[in-house]
Amino acid sequence: MKSGTHEMCTRLLKFADGKEVQWSMWVDAYKFDHTNPVQIHRKLTNEHIFPNQSEKMRNKLAEEVLDTDMLTLMEAYQQHMGANGSALDGVIELLKNTSVLIDVFRDRRTVNESNDIRL
C-alpha cells in the first residue's frame, strides 16, 4: 500500500523491463468494479483496499487481492482503459504469478513430490 509515485509513497515495485506495480492500480480497479452493475470480483470490499492496522495482518484479505478473481478484474479494467491499459501490464504480470500460488495454497490436496503438476 506504500507503493507508488506520490509524496506519501515510500516504495515502487518495478520490473526489469520498466513495468510498474502501484497500489493505486488496485484502488482504481476496485472503484471501476463498483461502478459496474455486475461486479467482477464479488468478494472485494473496502477492507481489502483500505485496511486498518489489524486488517493488514489478515491472510484472507491478502489472498483475495492476489487471486484469480483479482486477475480477471484487472484484465477487464485494462480493456476498459483502452490505449492507456498498457500501464497495468506490470500488475497483471504479477497477478498471473500470485494467482497460481494462491491456488496451490488453497488446494486441500497435499504436495508430496517436487514434480507435482501444480508446482
pLDDT tens figures, 43-85: 999 999 988 888 888 888 989 999 999 999 999 999 999 999 9
Arithmetic mean of pLDDT, 90-98: 95
pLDDT of 25 above 60? yes
pLDDT at residue 117 in the model:
75
Give the number of other CB atoms < 10 A from CB of residue 29. 26
Q: Is the dihedral of CA 78, 35, 94, 84 positive or negative?
A: positive
Mean pLDDT of 99-115: 85
Is the pLDDT assigned to residue 86 strictly greater than 70?
Answer: yes
Banded model confidence at residue 106, pLDDT cuts 50, 70, 90: confident
Q: Could you tell me how many residues make up the chain?
A: 119
Q: Supply the pLDDT for residue 36.
A: 87
Distance of CA 103 to the CA centre of its chain: 14
The whole-number average pLDDT for the span 91-108 is 90
Which amino acid, one-letter code, is at 77?
Y
User: What's the DSSP call for residue 77?
Assistant: H
Contact 56, 50 (CB under 8 A): no
